[in-house]
Amino acid sequence: MVETDNRVKTPRTPGPTGAEVWKQLEKRSFAVLSYVTPTGEPRSSGVVYVAAPGRLYAAVAPDSWKARHIPVTGQVAVTVPVRRGGLLSLIWPIPPATISFHARAVVHPRGSLDIDSLSSQLATLVPAERLADTRIVEIFPEGFFLTYGIGTPLLKMRNPAAARAHVRVG
């Protein structure tokens, strides 16, 4: 059986560029990281991160589910909320814009990553006394960023066709 798309096509406004999406990622520090357990159960939790060219680094506890389960598949999904609305958001409930993507992820064992080269960035994530015991998840976005509301005026965010964009990662 062949399915057809009967939705009305609305003209799309140009979406953000890959560089604009990376700029937004660099401004943020919180993301929701999703993965599956070895038994296939979905999980997600918040992480703090820093952006570097072509990747994100998140600090996680060595005994966390993230540190134990992500290495099983090496695949994650990430959603970064982007607060919008300024003072207007104090009056009306304005949902955040979002950047979502699939990624390959590596959980680095203690000592395997050159922490010194990342120390100034990671210092914003983890207190120095905990850094030695922290596991670093290196996240490599793949394919496309799915954005909602990035580069879209607030009033146009009410129209999903105008607010959504697929932007090539690389």
- The strand pairing partners of 136, in sequence order, are 59, 108
> Is residue 1 included in any domain, yes or no?
no
> Is residue 63 included in any domain, yes or no?
yes
Q: What are phi and psi of 22, to 5 degrees?
A: -60, -40
Full residue range of the structural domain in which residue 41 is found: 18-81+90-168
> Is residue 4 included in any domain, yes or no?
no
Whole-prediction pTM value? 0.84
> Is residue 162 included in any domain, yes or no?
yes
The pLDDT assigned to 114 comes to: 63
Domains in the chain: how many in total? 1
CATH number at residue 136: 2.30.110.10
For every one of its 170 residues, what pLDDT tens digit does the chain have, with 9 covering 90 and above?
444 445 544 445 578 999 999 999 999 999 999 999 989 999 999 999 999 899 999 989 999 999 999 999 999 999 999 988 777 777 777 788 999 999 999 999 876 766 556 657 766 677 777 777 788 999 999 999 999 999 888 888 888 888 999 999 97
Give the DSSP letter string of 11-53: PPPP---HHHHHHHHHH--EEEEEEE-TTS-EEEEEEEEEEET
The pLDDT assigned to 119 comes to: 58
> Is residue 12 included in any domain, yes or no?
no
The pLDDT assigned to 95 comes to: 80
> Is residue 9 included in any domain, yes or no?
no
